Amino acid sequence: MTTPVAPHVSPSESVLQSVYEAAGRLRTSPEVVDLLRTSWREVRAQIPVRMESKRLQIFEGYRVQHNGARGPYKGGVRFHPKADLDEVRALAMLMTYKCALMDLPFGGAKGGVMCDPLHMSETELNRLTRSYTQHIGMILGISRDIPAPDMGTNAQTMAWMMDAYGQKYGYTPGIVTGKPVELGGSHGRDQATGRGVAVCMREYAAIEKANPRDLKVVVQGYGNVGSWTARLASEMGFTVVAVSDIKGGICNMEGLDIAALDRWFSVAGSVTGFEPAEPVTNEHLLEIPCDYLVPAALGEVITGENAANIRARVVVEAANHPVTPSGDEVLAKRKIPVLPDVLVNAGGVTVSYFEWTQNIQQFRWPLETVITELEKRMVATFHELMGRSARDGTSPRQAAFDISVERVAKAILLRGFV
Protein backbone atom coordinates (compact mmCIF):
# COMPACT_ATOMS: atom_id res chain seq x y z
CA MET A 1 0.00 0.00 0.00
CA THR A 2 1.42 3.43 -0.84
CA THR A 3 1.30 6.32 1.62
CA PRO A 4 -0.94 9.18 0.47
CA VAL A 5 1.25 12.18 -0.34
CA ALA A 6 0.20 15.71 0.65
CA PRO A 7 0.53 18.37 -2.06
CA HIS A 8 3.88 20.17 -2.18
CA VAL A 9 3.93 23.35 -0.14
CA SER A 10 6.54 26.07 -0.56
CA PRO A 11 9.26 26.41 2.13
CA SER A 12 7.66 29.57 3.59
CA GLU A 13 4.18 27.98 3.63
CA SER A 14 5.59 25.03 5.50
CA VAL A 15 7.18 27.24 8.20
CA LEU A 16 3.91 29.17 8.43
CA GLN A 17 2.04 25.92 8.92
CA SER A 18 4.07 25.28 12.10
CA VAL A 19 3.50 28.87 13.24
CA TYR A 20 -0.29 28.71 12.66
CA GLU A 21 -0.51 25.43 14.56
CA ALA A 22 1.47 26.88 17.48
CA ALA A 23 -0.65 30.06 17.43
CA GLY A 24 -3.77 27.86 17.60
CA ARG A 25 -2.47 25.94 20.61
CA LEU A 26 -1.32 29.16 22.31
CA ARG A 27 -4.45 31.15 21.36
CA THR A 28 -2.21 33.91 19.97
CA SER A 29 -4.00 37.10 18.93
CA PRO A 30 -4.91 37.05 15.21
CA GLU A 31 -3.25 40.47 14.81
CA VAL A 32 0.05 39.05 16.05
CA VAL A 33 -0.33 36.13 13.64
CA ASP A 34 -0.96 38.64 10.83
CA LEU A 35 2.36 40.32 11.62
CA LEU A 36 4.18 36.98 11.61
CA ARG A 37 2.60 35.90 8.31
CA THR A 38 4.76 38.24 6.22
CA SER A 39 8.26 39.74 6.36
CA TRP A 40 8.88 43.17 7.81
CA ARG A 41 11.09 44.03 4.84
CA GLU A 42 12.27 42.24 1.71
CA VAL A 43 14.96 43.67 -0.52
CA ARG A 44 15.47 42.18 -3.97
CA ALA A 45 18.52 43.58 -5.68
CA GLN A 46 20.24 43.34 -9.02
CA ILE A 47 23.85 42.22 -8.38
CA PRO A 48 26.03 42.99 -11.41
CA VAL A 49 29.40 41.23 -11.51
CA ARG A 50 32.18 41.54 -14.09
CA MET A 51 33.15 37.90 -14.70
CA GLU A 52 36.65 36.64 -15.55
CA SER A 53 35.44 36.35 -19.15
CA LYS A 54 34.94 40.19 -19.06
CA ARG A 55 31.20 39.62 -19.50
CA LEU A 56 28.88 41.50 -17.09
CA GLN A 57 26.61 38.97 -15.40
CA ILE A 58 23.56 40.11 -13.45
CA PHE A 59 22.71 37.95 -10.45
CA GLU A 60 19.61 38.26 -8.29
CA GLY A 61 20.13 38.79 -4.55
CA TYR A 62 17.86 39.16 -1.56
CA ARG A 63 17.86 40.18 2.07
CA VAL A 64 14.70 39.39 3.99
CA GLN A 65 14.07 40.75 7.49
CA HIS A 66 11.19 38.81 9.00
CA ASN A 67 10.53 40.04 12.53
CA GLY A 68 12.67 42.23 14.78
CA ALA A 69 10.54 42.38 17.94
CA ARG A 70 13.23 40.63 20.02
CA GLY A 71 16.28 42.47 18.65
CA PRO A 72 18.32 43.26 15.54
CA TYR A 73 17.84 41.00 12.54
CA LYS A 74 20.23 38.09 12.30
CA GLY A 75 20.70 35.45 9.65
CA GLY A 76 23.03 33.87 7.14
CA VAL A 77 23.72 34.61 3.50
CA ARG A 78 23.35 31.73 1.07
CA PHE A 79 25.01 31.50 -2.34
CA HIS A 80 23.17 28.74 -4.19
CA PRO A 81 21.48 28.27 -7.59
CA LYS A 82 18.15 27.62 -5.83
CA ALA A 83 18.34 30.50 -3.33
CA ASP A 84 15.11 32.13 -4.53
CA LEU A 85 13.02 34.67 -2.65
CA ASP A 86 10.60 32.14 -1.18
CA GLU A 87 13.41 29.99 0.20
CA VAL A 88 15.18 33.03 1.68
CA ARG A 89 11.87 34.23 3.18
CA ALA A 90 11.27 30.83 4.80
CA LEU A 91 14.80 30.78 6.21
CA ALA A 92 14.33 34.32 7.60
CA MET A 93 11.16 33.15 9.37
CA LEU A 94 12.99 30.14 10.77
CA MET A 95 15.67 32.48 12.16
CA THR A 96 13.05 34.48 14.08
CA TYR A 97 11.93 31.31 15.86
CA LYS A 98 15.43 29.83 16.23
CA CYS A 99 16.72 32.98 17.97
CA ALA A 100 13.63 33.11 20.17
CA LEU A 101 13.91 29.41 21.08
CA MET A 102 17.57 29.93 22.09
CA ASP A 103 16.53 33.12 23.91
CA LEU A 104 18.99 35.21 21.90
CA PRO A 105 18.22 38.95 21.57
CA PHE A 106 17.79 38.81 17.79
CA GLY A 107 15.05 38.84 15.19
CA GLY A 108 15.14 36.72 12.05
CA ALA A 109 16.65 37.52 8.66
CA LYS A 110 18.25 35.73 5.74
CA GLY A 111 20.08 36.67 2.58
CA GLY A 112 20.76 34.88 -0.64
CA VAL A 113 22.19 35.24 -4.09
CA MET A 114 21.09 32.90 -6.86
CA CYS A 115 24.46 31.76 -8.19
CA ASP A 116 26.61 28.68 -8.42
CA PRO A 117 29.68 29.32 -6.24
CA LEU A 118 31.18 25.95 -7.22
CA HIS A 119 31.61 27.28 -10.76
CA MET A 120 32.90 30.73 -9.91
CA SER A 121 36.49 31.84 -9.36
CA GLU A 122 37.67 33.42 -6.10
CA THR A 123 37.84 36.81 -7.83
CA GLU A 124 34.26 36.46 -9.10
CA LEU A 125 33.03 35.46 -5.63
CA ASN A 126 34.86 38.42 -4.09
CA ARG A 127 33.24 40.81 -6.59
CA LEU A 128 29.81 39.21 -6.12
CA THR A 129 30.05 39.53 -2.32
CA ARG A 130 31.11 43.19 -2.52
CA SER A 131 28.39 44.01 -5.03
CA TYR A 132 25.77 42.25 -2.88
CA THR A 133 26.95 44.07 0.27
CA GLN A 134 26.84 47.40 -1.55
CA HIS A 135 23.26 46.74 -2.65
CA ILE A 136 21.89 45.71 0.74
CA GLY A 137 24.27 47.79 2.93
CA MET A 138 21.65 50.44 3.71
CA ILE A 139 19.50 47.97 5.65
CA LEU A 140 22.39 46.40 7.59
CA GLY A 141 23.86 47.71 10.82
CA ILE A 142 25.36 46.43 14.06
CA SER A 143 22.04 47.19 15.86
CA ARG A 144 19.93 46.61 12.74
CA ASP A 145 20.88 43.48 10.78
CA ILE A 146 23.97 41.28 11.12
CA PRO A 147 24.65 38.66 8.37
CA ALA A 148 26.58 35.39 8.80
CA PRO A 149 27.70 32.49 6.57
CA ASP A 150 25.34 29.80 5.29
CA MET A 151 25.43 27.36 2.39
CA GLY A 152 27.98 28.36 -0.22
CA THR A 153 29.48 31.12 1.92
CA ASN A 154 32.18 30.98 4.59
CA ALA A 155 34.53 33.02 6.79
CA GLN A 156 36.24 34.48 3.71
CA THR A 157 32.88 35.70 2.36
CA MET A 158 32.23 37.41 5.70
CA ALA A 159 35.68 39.06 5.58
CA TRP A 160 34.80 40.52 2.15
CA MET A 161 31.39 41.64 3.42
CA MET A 162 32.93 43.32 6.46
CA ASP A 163 35.49 45.06 4.27
CA ALA A 164 32.91 46.22 1.71
CA TYR A 165 30.64 47.53 4.48
CA GLY A 166 33.60 49.22 6.21
CA GLN A 167 34.63 51.04 3.03
CA LYS A 168 31.34 52.92 3.09
CA TYR A 169 30.43 53.08 6.79
CA GLY A 170 33.80 52.82 8.59
CA TYR A 171 35.46 49.93 10.43
CA THR A 172 32.64 47.77 11.83
CA PRO A 173 33.72 44.22 12.72
CA GLY A 174 30.36 43.48 14.42
CA ILE A 175 28.51 43.94 11.11
CA VAL A 176 28.94 40.23 10.27
CA THR A 177 29.61 37.11 12.31
CA GLY A 178 31.44 34.01 11.21
CA LYS A 179 34.45 36.14 10.23
CA PRO A 180 38.01 34.81 10.33
CA VAL A 181 39.39 34.94 13.89
CA GLU A 182 42.15 37.30 12.64
CA LEU A 183 39.47 39.91 11.77
CA GLY A 184 37.53 39.69 15.03
CA GLY A 185 35.76 36.38 14.53
CA SER A 186 35.04 34.20 17.54
CA HIS A 187 37.03 31.12 18.32
CA GLY A 188 34.81 28.10 17.78
CA ARG A 189 32.37 29.69 15.28
CA ASP A 190 33.44 27.24 12.55
CA GLN A 191 32.55 24.19 14.64
CA ALA A 192 29.58 25.76 16.49
CA THR A 193 26.69 24.42 14.42
CA GLY A 194 28.13 20.90 14.21
CA ARG A 195 28.88 20.94 17.94
CA GLY A 196 25.30 21.92 18.67
CA VAL A 197 24.08 19.03 16.48
CA ALA A 198 26.39 16.55 18.25
CA VAL A 199 25.30 17.85 21.68
CA CYS A 200 21.63 17.30 20.75
CA MET A 201 22.44 13.71 19.70
CA ARG A 202 24.38 13.10 22.92
CA GLU A 203 21.52 14.48 25.06
CA TYR A 204 18.95 12.44 23.11
CA ALA A 205 21.05 9.31 23.56
CA ALA A 206 21.11 10.03 27.31
CA ILE A 207 17.28 10.24 27.34
CA GLU A 208 17.21 6.90 25.51
CA LYS A 209 19.74 5.58 28.05
CA ALA A 210 21.88 4.50 25.11
CA ASN A 211 25.65 4.47 24.86
CA PRO A 212 26.77 6.53 21.80
CA ARG A 213 29.11 3.65 20.93
CA ASP A 214 26.07 1.49 20.20
CA LEU A 215 24.49 4.12 17.95
CA LYS A 216 25.04 4.32 14.20
CA VAL A 217 24.91 7.78 12.65
CA VAL A 218 24.46 8.76 8.98
CA VAL A 219 25.27 12.33 7.90
CA GLN A 220 24.22 13.83 4.55
CA GLY A 221 26.54 16.71 3.59
CA TYR A 222 30.19 17.15 4.48
CA GLY A 223 30.44 20.94 4.46
CA ASN A 224 30.76 23.10 7.55
CA VAL A 225 27.85 21.56 9.44
CA GLY A 226 28.09 17.95 8.26
CA SER A 227 31.85 17.58 8.69
CA TRP A 228 31.91 19.08 12.19
CA THR A 229 28.91 16.98 13.16
CA ALA A 230 30.66 13.81 12.00
CA ARG A 231 33.95 14.82 13.66
CA LEU A 232 32.46 15.75 17.03
CA ALA A 233 29.92 12.90 17.08
CA SER A 234 32.78 10.52 16.42
CA GLU A 235 34.79 12.14 19.27
CA MET A 236 31.77 11.67 21.54
CA GLY A 237 31.85 7.96 20.71
CA PHE A 238 29.07 7.66 18.12
CA THR A 239 29.73 5.30 15.22
CA VAL A 240 29.47 7.39 12.05
CA VAL A 241 28.70 4.85 9.32
CA ALA A 242 27.99 7.03 6.27
CA VAL A 243 28.56 10.57 5.02
CA SER A 244 28.15 12.30 1.67
CA ASP A 245 28.66 15.47 -0.30
CA ILE A 246 27.30 16.76 -3.60
CA LYS A 247 29.38 14.17 -5.51
CA GLY A 248 28.01 11.16 -3.62
CA GLY A 249 28.33 9.22 -0.39
CA ILE A 250 30.38 6.52 1.32
CA CYS A 251 29.28 3.88 3.80
CA ASN A 252 31.03 1.48 6.16
CA MET A 253 28.68 -0.18 8.65
CA GLU A 254 31.65 -0.89 10.96
CA GLY A 255 32.20 2.86 11.27
CA LEU A 256 34.21 5.41 9.28
CA ASP A 257 37.58 6.66 10.52
CA ILE A 258 36.68 10.37 10.49
CA ALA A 259 40.25 11.62 11.11
CA ALA A 260 41.45 9.58 8.11
CA LEU A 261 38.45 10.81 6.09
CA ASP A 262 39.39 14.43 6.87
CA ARG A 263 42.92 13.79 5.60
CA TRP A 264 41.44 12.24 2.44
CA PHE A 265 39.01 15.15 1.99
CA SER A 266 41.77 17.76 2.29
CA VAL A 267 43.48 16.21 -0.75
CA ALA A 268 40.55 14.84 -2.79
CA GLY A 269 38.08 17.68 -2.05
CA SER A 270 35.28 15.11 -1.69
CA VAL A 271 34.38 12.20 0.56
CA THR A 272 33.91 10.00 -2.50
CA GLY A 273 36.65 7.45 -3.14
CA PHE A 274 37.57 7.13 0.55
CA GLU A 275 38.38 3.61 1.73
CA PRO A 276 37.56 1.36 3.46
CA ALA A 277 33.98 2.22 2.49
CA GLU A 278 31.39 1.43 -0.17
CA PRO A 279 30.07 4.14 -2.49
CA VAL A 280 26.38 5.11 -2.05
CA THR A 281 24.21 7.68 -3.77
CA ASN A 282 22.78 10.58 -1.77
CA GLU A 283 19.27 9.12 -2.24
CA HIS A 284 20.31 5.72 -0.93
CA LEU A 285 22.29 7.24 1.94
CA LEU A 286 19.04 8.58 3.45
CA GLU A 287 17.65 5.04 3.48
CA ILE A 288 20.56 3.30 5.25
CA PRO A 289 19.41 1.54 8.45
CA CYS A 290 20.83 3.56 11.36
CA ASP A 291 19.95 5.10 14.70
CA TYR A 292 20.33 8.81 13.97
CA LEU A 293 19.97 10.20 10.44
CA VAL A 294 21.41 13.71 10.12
CA PRO A 295 20.50 15.60 6.93
CA ALA A 296 23.14 18.39 6.95
CA ALA A 297 23.10 19.64 3.35
CA LEU A 298 19.99 20.85 1.55
CA GLY A 299 16.40 21.54 2.49
CA GLU A 300 13.46 19.30 1.50
CA VAL A 301 15.39 16.04 1.19
CA ILE A 302 12.94 13.96 3.25
CA THR A 303 9.53 14.27 1.64
CA GLY A 304 6.17 12.54 1.40
CA GLU A 305 7.71 10.43 -1.38
CA ASN A 306 10.73 8.98 0.42
CA ALA A 307 9.85 9.25 4.15
CA ALA A 308 8.34 5.76 4.02
CA ASN A 309 11.79 4.40 3.08
CA ILE A 310 13.72 6.02 5.95
CA ARG A 311 15.16 3.31 8.18
CA ALA A 312 16.57 5.55 10.90
CA ARG A 313 15.11 5.52 14.43
CA VAL A 314 15.47 9.31 14.81
CA VAL A 315 15.92 12.16 12.30
CA VAL A 316 18.16 15.01 13.48
CA GLU A 317 17.63 18.12 11.34
CA ALA A 318 21.06 19.74 11.00
CA ALA A 319 20.21 21.46 7.70
CA ASN A 320 17.45 24.02 7.57
CA HIS A 321 14.08 22.60 6.64
CA PRO A 322 15.31 19.18 5.43
CA VAL A 323 11.95 17.48 6.15
CA THR A 324 8.86 18.75 4.31
CA PRO A 325 5.48 18.84 6.10
CA SER A 326 4.33 15.75 4.18
CA GLY A 327 7.60 14.00 5.09
CA ASP A 328 7.00 15.00 8.71
CA GLU A 329 3.51 13.52 8.57
CA VAL A 330 4.77 10.17 7.25
CA LEU A 331 7.58 10.05 9.86
CA ALA A 332 5.10 10.89 12.66
CA LYS A 333 2.81 8.05 11.53
CA ARG A 334 5.82 5.74 11.59
CA LYS A 335 6.72 7.02 15.09
CA ILE A 336 10.13 8.28 13.97
CA PRO A 337 10.89 11.35 16.08
CA VAL A 338 12.32 14.43 14.34
CA LEU A 339 14.59 16.75 16.33
CA PRO A 340 13.82 20.10 14.65
CA ASP A 341 16.25 22.42 12.83
CA VAL A 342 15.35 25.43 14.98
CA LEU A 343 16.98 23.62 17.90
CA VAL A 344 19.49 21.27 16.31
CA ASN A 345 21.41 23.77 14.15
CA ALA A 346 21.08 26.71 16.56
CA GLY A 347 24.68 26.35 17.77
CA GLY A 348 25.81 28.52 14.84
CA VAL A 349 23.66 31.53 15.65
CA THR A 350 24.43 31.09 19.35
CA VAL A 351 28.17 31.47 18.76
CA SER A 352 27.39 34.25 16.27
CA TYR A 353 25.70 35.96 19.20
CA PHE A 354 28.85 35.44 21.29
CA GLU A 355 30.93 36.87 18.42
CA TRP A 356 28.69 39.94 18.15
CA THR A 357 28.89 40.61 21.89
CA GLN A 358 32.68 40.12 21.83
CA ASN A 359 32.96 42.63 18.93
CA ILE A 360 30.81 45.17 20.76
CA GLN A 361 32.94 44.79 23.90
CA GLN A 362 36.16 44.62 21.84
CA PHE A 363 37.10 41.57 23.85
CA ARG A 364 37.83 37.95 22.89
CA TRP A 365 36.83 34.77 24.69
CA PRO A 366 39.12 31.74 24.62
CA LEU A 367 37.83 28.65 22.79
CA GLU A 368 37.09 26.81 26.06
CA THR A 369 34.73 29.61 27.19
CA VAL A 370 32.91 29.56 23.84
CA ILE A 371 32.48 25.78 24.00
CA THR A 372 31.33 25.82 27.65
CA GLU A 373 28.82 28.62 27.07
CA LEU A 374 27.52 26.99 23.87
CA GLU A 375 27.11 23.63 25.59
CA LYS A 376 25.23 25.27 28.49
CA ARG A 377 22.74 26.95 26.18
CA MET A 378 22.27 23.95 23.88
CA VAL A 379 21.74 21.53 26.79
CA ALA A 380 19.36 23.88 28.62
CA THR A 381 17.25 24.55 25.50
CA PHE A 382 17.26 20.89 24.47
CA HIS A 383 15.80 19.86 27.85
CA GLU A 384 13.38 22.79 28.00
CA LEU A 385 12.04 21.74 24.58
CA MET A 386 11.88 18.02 25.36
CA GLY A 387 10.21 18.82 28.72
CA ARG A 388 7.58 20.96 27.01
CA SER A 389 7.01 18.26 24.39
CA ALA A 390 6.51 15.62 27.13
CA ARG A 391 4.26 17.91 29.18
CA ASP A 392 1.99 18.90 26.29
CA GLY A 393 2.10 15.65 24.33
CA THR A 394 3.43 17.54 21.29
CA SER A 395 6.21 16.64 18.87
CA PRO A 396 9.64 18.25 19.44
CA ARG A 397 8.96 20.54 16.46
CA GLN A 398 5.59 21.61 17.85
CA ALA A 399 7.16 22.24 21.27
CA ALA A 400 9.93 24.33 19.65
CA PHE A 401 7.36 26.51 17.86
CA ASP A 402 5.19 26.77 20.98
CA ILE A 403 8.12 28.14 23.01
CA SER A 404 9.36 30.47 20.29
CA VAL A 405 6.04 31.80 19.01
CA GLU A 406 5.08 32.53 22.63
CA ARG A 407 8.30 34.54 23.10
CA VAL A 408 8.00 36.47 19.84
CA ALA A 409 4.30 37.22 20.46
CA LYS A 410 5.12 38.50 23.96
CA ALA A 411 7.79 40.86 22.57
CA ILE A 412 5.38 42.10 19.88
CA LEU A 413 2.76 42.91 22.52
CA LEU A 414 5.26 44.51 24.92
CA ARG A 415 6.56 46.78 22.16
CA GLY A 416 3.03 47.76 21.25
CA PHE A 417 3.30 46.60 17.61
CA VAL A 418 -0.39 45.62 17.82
Which residues belong to the active site?
110
Q: Which of residues 162-221 bind ligand NAD (CB under 6 A)?
A: 193, 220-221
Distances (CA, A) of 81 to 128, 137, 151: 14, 22, 11
Phi first, then psi, for residue 50 (nearest 5°) are: -80, 115
Contact with ligand NAD (CB under 6 A) among 61, 68, 147, 152: 152
Distances (CA, A) of 200 to 149, 197, 331, 391: 22, 5, 19, 19
Q: Which residue minimizes CB distance to ligand NAD?
A: 223
Nearer to ligand NAD, 220 or 389 (CB): 220
Based on the shown chain and the rule CB under 6 A, indicate whether residue 298 belongs to the binding site for ligand NAD: yes
Q: Which of 151, 197, 200, 261 binds ligand NAD (CB under 6 A)?
A: 151
Taking CB under 6 A as the rule, does residue 224 contact ligand NAD? Answer: yes
Nearest residue to 110 (alpha-carbon basis) of 213, 183, 41, 195: 41
Name the residue nearer to ligand NAD (CB basis): 87 or 291: 87
Q: Looking at 19, 22, 296, 370, which residue binds ligand NAD (CB under 6 A)?
A: 296
* Residue from 150, 300, 328, 355 in contact with ligand NAD (CB under 6 A): 150
87 binds ligand NAD (CB under 6 A): no
**Binding residues among 348-367 for ligand NAD as defined by CB under 6 A:** 348
User: Using the rule CB under 6 A, which residue among 12, 234, 239, 345 binds ligand NAD?
Assistant: 345
Stretch touching ligand NAD by CB under 6 A, among 165-173, 233-241, 312-320, 385-393: 312-320
Note whether 126 binds ligand NAD by CB under 6 A.
Answer: no
Residue 297 binds ligand NAD (CB under 6 A): yes
Determine if 319 is a binding residue for ligand NAD (CB under 6 A). yes
Select the residue interacting with ligand NAD from 177, 244, 272, 395 (CB under 6 A).
244
Question: Smaller CB distance to ligand NAD: residue 102 or 331?
Answer: 102
| Strand 145-149 to 239-245 pairing | unpaired
